[in-house]
Amino acid sequence: MREVPGVTEATGVAGMTGNAEFRPVGIVLVSHSGDVARAVAAMAQGLAGGGALAPIAAAGGTPDGGLGTSAELIARAAADVDRGAGVAVLVDLGSAVLTVKALLAEGYDLPSGTRLVDAPLVEGAVGALVAASAGADLDAVARAAAEAYEYRKT
């Protein structure tokens, strides 16, 4: 994969669980900042524990490294994490939601089963990665991410 600011090559190991058919849900983290998206992906991987992790990729910022969102970076990240079980997309702020919704509505070249997940970016990324790495299907991964809304900090 060529080096593009804001998108990281999918990380995670599929097929290393002893099951040759392990096809986890992929996860894409969309942020207006490439640094934020990459940091959240790294944090989720660190907190998800050892073993085989589902693929996760950051699609943050614009192709030139600026702040914003990019349909191109999001589509590339989704293709990178796709293992045939669907792709869960988590986003940070309003226009990222609009960008992903536009991609889905316009039939943009996204993997089959790509879904925008209504979840907080940081906590949702951890829940989604843990669930996907355990072999959960796309619905269960989306629920695990959305359950992060229930975690109260006060």
Give the CATH number of the domain where residue 144 resides: 3.40.50.510
pLDDT of residue 3: 44
- Does 141 reside within a domain? yes
- Does 136 reside within a domain? yes
Closest CA to 27 of 122, 105, 128: 128
Element holding 97 (H helix, E strand):
helix 94-105
73 exposed, middle or buried (CB, 10 Å; 0-12, 13-18, 19+)? buried
Q: How far apart are CA 151 and CA 154, in angstroms?
A: 9
For residue 24, pLDDT over 50 is answered with yes
Decide: pTM greater than 0.85. Answer: yes
- Does 18 reside within a domain? no
Q: How far apart are CA 138 and CA 29, in angstroms?
A: 15
Where in the sequence is the domain holding 38, given as residue range(s)? 26-149
Closest CA to 26 of 62, 53, 64: 53
- Does 67 reside within a domain? yes
- Does 21 reside within a domain? no
Tokens of 146: 């959305």
Higher pLDDT, 60 or 49: 60
Backbone angles phi, psi at 51, to 5 degrees: 85, -175
For residue 153, pLDDT over 60 is answered with yes
Mean pLDDT of 40-63: 93
Name beta bridge partners: 59: 7, 30
For residue 9, pLDDT over 60 is answered with no
- Does 129 reside within a domain? yes
Q: How far apart are CA 141 and CA 151, in angstroms?
A: 17
- Does 38 reside within a domain? yes
The number of distinct structural domains making up the chain is 1
Confirm whether 147 is a catalytic residue: no
- Does 154 reside within a domain? no
Element holding 76 (H helix, E strand):
helix 71-81
Over the chain, what is the mean pLDDT? 89
Locus of tokens 């229930």: 150
For residue 5, pLDDT over 70 is answered with no
Higher pLDDT, 51 or 77: 77
Q: How far apart are CA 81 and CA 112, in angstroms?
A: 12
pLDDT of residue 99: 95
pLDDT of residue 12: 54
Of the listed 32, 38, 76, 83, which one is catalytic?
Answer: 32
